[in-house]
Structure 1
Amino acid sequence: MEPPSDRIRLSQTAKEQLTKLKRQTKIDQWNILCRWAFCRSLAEPSIPSPVPIPADSNVEMSWRVFGGELSDILIVALKQRCQKDGLGTDKETLATQFRLHLHRGIGYLAGDLNLKRIEDLIEVAVTLP
């Protein structure tokens, strides 16, 4: 399945937020935390604000690394969400929405004062509507 982006570069703010999350959860791979963040944003009913997000950090990964074994499932989830939100599913729209969801999700996780360890991350996942 065609990914929305071949390469993913995070903003400096997202890098700093992920660094904090790595320290708290002891999950040391960027891609795993990014998957959690992406899914956290998809679970939020509102559409992410269309704000410009700079790609100004040195954290970059391929879609293959980001998605891992869940790659196709994450693409389908993104397409489904775009359809639900009344957006297109062309490559540009998918890439934009992916970036917005990823960064919003990172912000949500980093801003959650109750998230202090991996068990708290799991708790967030099982309590979302």
Structure 2
Amino acid sequence: MIAKHFKLSQPEKDRLIRIKAKTGIQNWNIICRWALCWSLAEPTPPGGIDPLSDSNVEMDWSTFAGEYSEIYEAIIRQRCINDGFGDDEKTLAKYFRLHLNRGINHYSSRDVLKNCADLLKSAVAKEVE
């Protein structure tokens, strides 16, 4: 398990509220899954430092990943190895949060999402490339 539970930063929470309003997706864990997958599909590793955990939004790994928790963990582990970071627990947790943060930032950027259809188009565009 990457992390038993994790807390989002206040800016991530604010961005998720905007994404939720644009897409109509009610569950933050679903939006977070999309954000993580978008970031993992990017060819470069996410930069920056771990986001603060200063909001009141906390999520269990099992809630975030659901029935696909082993798959998400394997993908994150392999990505860390491919990027040359190793796969110890601390590294996995750090890069999970960095990927999640990058994906949330992307989807909350201006003109990326106007509605739920744009979210679906972003997945199809990645698949076609």
Equivalents in 2 of 1:112, 1:98: separation in Å?
A: 24
Equivalents in 2 of 1:118, 1:69: separation in Å?
A: 23
Shift of 1:112: 4.8
Q: Partner of 1:57 in structure 2? A: 55
Alignment of 1:1-129 (within 5 A): 3-128=1-126, 129=129
Secondary structure of the corresponding residue to residue 35 of structure 1: helix
Provide the alpha-carbon RMSD of the alignment.
1.0
Equivalents in 2 of 1:126, 1:80: separation in Å?
A: 23
After TM superposition, the score normalised by the length of structure 1 is: 0.95
Post-superposition Cα deviations, 1:2-31, rounded to whole Å, max 9, x if no partner, equal x11101100000000000000000001010
Identity %: 46
Post-superposition Cα deviations, 1:23-72, rounded to whole Å, max 9, x if no partner, equal 00000101000000000110111111132411000011100000012211
After TM superposition, the score normalised by the length of structure 2 is: 0.95
Equivalents in 1 of 2:64, 2:26: separation in Å?
A: 14
Secondary structure of the corresponding residue to residue 4 of structure 1: coil
Gaps of 5+ in 1: none
